[in-house]
Amino acid sequence: MSGLMTLLLILAIGLAALAIGRSRAKSLDAAGVKPHSRPQYHGAWAMLLATGPALLLLIAWSIGSANYVDRAISSGVHAASAETAATATSLVKRLASSIKLLDPADQANLPATIEALTPLLSAKGVALAADTADYMIPVAVAANRTAATLGWTGGLIAVGLSVAGALIGLSQIATRSRARDKVETAMLWALFGASTIAILTTVGIVLSMLFQTLAFFRDVSPLSFFFGTVWDPRFSAAGGDGAQGQFGLIPLLAGTLYIALVALLVAVPVGLMSAVYMSEYASRPVRTVVKPALELLAGIPTIVYGIFALITLGPWLRDLSAALWGGDPFIQAQSIFTAGLVMGVMLIPVVSSLSDDIISAVPQAMRDGSLGLGATRSETVKRVILPAALPGIVGAVLLTASRAIGETMIVVLAAGVAANLTANPFEAMTTITVKIVNQLTGDLEFNSPQTLVAFALGLTLFFVTLAMNVVALAIVRRYREQYE
C-alpha cells in the first residue's frame, strides 16, 4: 500500500467518523436532555482520534523504515573506504528507485547484469550512473522488497489505529461528554505549535549554517577567514600553505559596507526629505497621489532594479563619463557607484515610510509651540521635530542599513564579481551576498570548502544584520514609549 493511499484512507476514515459522530450526537438531542457539546464537536473529536495518532505513527514509521532500508543497503555494499561506501550506497538507492519504474513483468525477471539492465531502463528514460556495478542489483531489489514490506505493514497498522481511534471516539459520545473542551484543547495546542515555527526557523537557520561553518573551519582557520585580505576560493595545491589565505572576508566585507554606505548616502537624505515634505508641507491631494507613487518603488522586485542597473544605467554612466572626459571611461559599467545609487533608490521608500511614522509620533504640541513662537516651518522641522525624532531616525537608518547589507540581486547584477580592495567608488567591488550566490550556483558538493564558505559568509551576514536589527528595534521601541 503506497503512502498516498494510506493517507487518503485515513482521511476517509476520519471524515466518516466526523459524519457518523455528528449524526449520532444529533440523535442524542432527541432524547430531551441538553447535551454538553454541539453535535459537530462530537464528530470532530472522533475525527481527531481517527486521524491524529494514525498520521503521527505514519510519519514516524516512514522515517524509521527509510533509515532501516538505508542501513540494509549500506551493509549490503562492499567498498574499501567510508567515502566510496557512501557513493556506492547512493548508487544503489538510485538503482532501486529506477528499478521501480520498470514494468512488473520486467521487474519479475530482472537481468543480472547492468549491461542488460541499461536498455530496459533507458526505454523508461532513466540513465544509470557509470559506476553502478552488477552486485548492486540484488541489493537494490532486496531493498525495494524490504521497503515494500515495511510500507505495507506500516500502512496496515496506521489504518488499524485509525479505525480504532474512530471507534473509541464514537463510543465516547454521550449527553454529558465534554467533546467541545477536548476539541478546543487540541486546537489550542495546534495554534501553539504554529507559533513555535518562528523559533524553529531561527534555530534551523542558526544550526544549519553553524554546522556547515564548523565544517568549513576544519579546513580553513577562522583567523585567516575573518582577517584575510585575499579572496580567491580556488584551491591551488591540496593542503598547501598558500591555500590558507584565500578565503579572506575583508575584501567582501569592505565591498558590502562601501556599497551600503553609498546607498545610505542616497536613501537617507532623499527619503528623509520626502517624508518631511509629505508630512509638513504637502497638501492633501498631492499626498494622495505622490505617496502611493513613491511606495511603488518598494513594490518593485529587486531583480528589476538590478537589471536596470546592468543594462541601462551602468552602460549609460560609462558612456557619459567617456564622453565628458574624452577617451577612457572612468566609471566602469559595474561599479560601487552604480550599485549603490540603484540600491539607494530602492531604499528611499523604506527610509521615508519609517521616518514618516517617527515624525508623526512627535506630539503636535511641540510643533504648535514652536510655530507659535514665530519659527518658520523649516525651523520647526530642523530645530524641534528632527532633534526630538533623532533616536527614532537613527533606528530607521540602522534598519535600512541592514536591508542594504543583505540585499542580493542588485549587487549580483550591478556590483561585479571581482574581489577588489579599492577606495574608488567608480570601480567594481563585490559583496558577501554576491559571493554566497557565486559559490552555491551550479554543481556543488557539500564537503568542499568552496561550498562551505558560503555558509560561513551567510552566518556572518546573519549575525551582522541581526545585531543591527536588535539595536534598531530597541531604539525605535524606546523612542515610541517616550511619547506615549
Question: Three-state secondary structure along 115-142?
Answer: HHHHHHHHHCCCCCCCCCCCCHHHHHHH
Site for other proteins in 364-423 (CB under 8 A): 376-379, 381-382, 399, 402-403, 405-409, 412-413
d(CA 408, CA 339): 11
Site for other proteins in 87-146 (CB under 8 A): none
Shortest Å distance, C-beta 423 to other proteins:
26
**Alpha-carbon torsion (96, 101, 104, 106), positive or negative:** negative
Shortest Å distance, C-beta 378 to other proteins:
4
Place of cell 574581489: 419
Q: What angle do CA 169, 170, 176 make, to 5 degrees?
A: 85
- Contact between 216 and other proteins by CB under 8 A: the answer reads no
Site for other proteins in 326-365 (CB under 8 A): 345, 348-349
Q: Near other proteins by CB under 8 A, which window of 71-79, 167-175, 310-318, 356-364? A: 310-318
**Residue 286 corresponds to which cell in the numbers above?**
498631492
- Contact between 225 and other proteins by CB under 8 A: the answer reads no
d(CA 26, CA 222): 69
323 Cβ contact partners less than 8 Å away, ≥ 6 residues apart: none
- Contact between 483 and other proteins by CB under 8 A: the answer reads no
Q: Near other proteins by CB under 8 A, which window of 28-36, 156-164, 252-260, 286-294? A: 286-294
**Alpha-carbon torsion (144, 145, 150, 156), positive or negative:** positive
Torsions phi, psi for 247 (to 5 deg)? -110, 45
Select 321 or 465, whichever has its Cβ closest to other proteins.
465
**Residue 242 corresponds to which cell in the numbers above?**
598558500
Q: Near other proteins by CB under 8 A, which window of 23-31, 121-129, 265-273, 421-429? A: 265-273
Size of interface with other proteins, in residues (CB under 8 A)? 85
**What is the DSSP code string of 398-421?**
HHHHHHHHH--HHHHHHT-S----
- Of these, 308, 385, 392, 425, which contacts other proteins (CB under 8 A)? 308
Q: Near other proteins by CB under 8 A, which window of 12-20, 123-131, 248-256, 271-279? A: 271-279
Shortest Å distance, C-beta 216 to other proteins:
12
Select 116 or 296, whichever has its Cβ closest to other proteins.
296
Select 243 or 384, whichever has its Cβ closest to other proteins.
384
Select 159 or 350, whichever has its Cβ closest to other proteins.
350
Select 114 or 461, whichever has its Cβ closest to other proteins.
461
d(CA 83, CA 302): 42
d(CA 418, CA 332): 13
DSSP H or E segment with residue 56: helix 39-76
**Residue 299 corresponds to which cell in the numbers above?**
513594490
Burial of 421 (0-12, 13-18, 19+ CB in 10 A): middle
Q: Near other proteins by CB under 8 A, which window of 122-130, 153-161, 225-233, 430-438? A: 430-438
Q: Near other proteins by CB under 8 A, which window of 8-16, 51-59, 149-157, 305-313? A: 305-313
Based on C-alpha coordinates, what's the Rg of the chain?
32
Site for other proteins in 167-196 (CB under 8 A): 180, 184, 187-188, 190-196
- Of these, 303, 323, 324, 390, which contacts other proteins (CB under 8 A)? 303
Q: What angle do CA 175, 177, 181 make, to 5 degrees?
A: 130
Q: Among 274, 269, 271, 298, which Cα is nearest to 286's?
A: 274
Select 6 or 433, whichever has its Cβ closest to other proteins.
433
Shortest Å distance, C-beta 457 to other proteins:
9
Shortest Å distance, C-beta 87 to other proteins:
15
- Contact between 428 and other proteins by CB under 8 A: the answer reads no
The torsion defined by the Cα of 145, 147, 152 and 155, in degrees rounded to 10, comes to -170
Shortest Å distance, C-beta 413 to other proteins:
6
- Contact between 82 and other proteins by CB under 8 A: the answer reads no
Select 243 or 468, whichever has its Cβ closest to other proteins.
468
Helix ranges (DSSP H) in 277-363: 284-299, 302-308, 314-325, 336-360
Shortest Å distance, C-beta 112 to other proteins:
29
Shortest Å distance, C-beta 227 to other proteins:
23
In DSSP terms, 231 is beta-bridged to: 247
Shortest Å distance, C-beta 202 to other proteins:
5
- Of these, 274, 334, 370, 430, which contacts other proteins (CB under 8 A)? 274
Select 117 or 433, whichever has its Cβ closest to other proteins.
433
Burial of 190 (0-12, 13-18, 19+ CB in 10 A): exposed
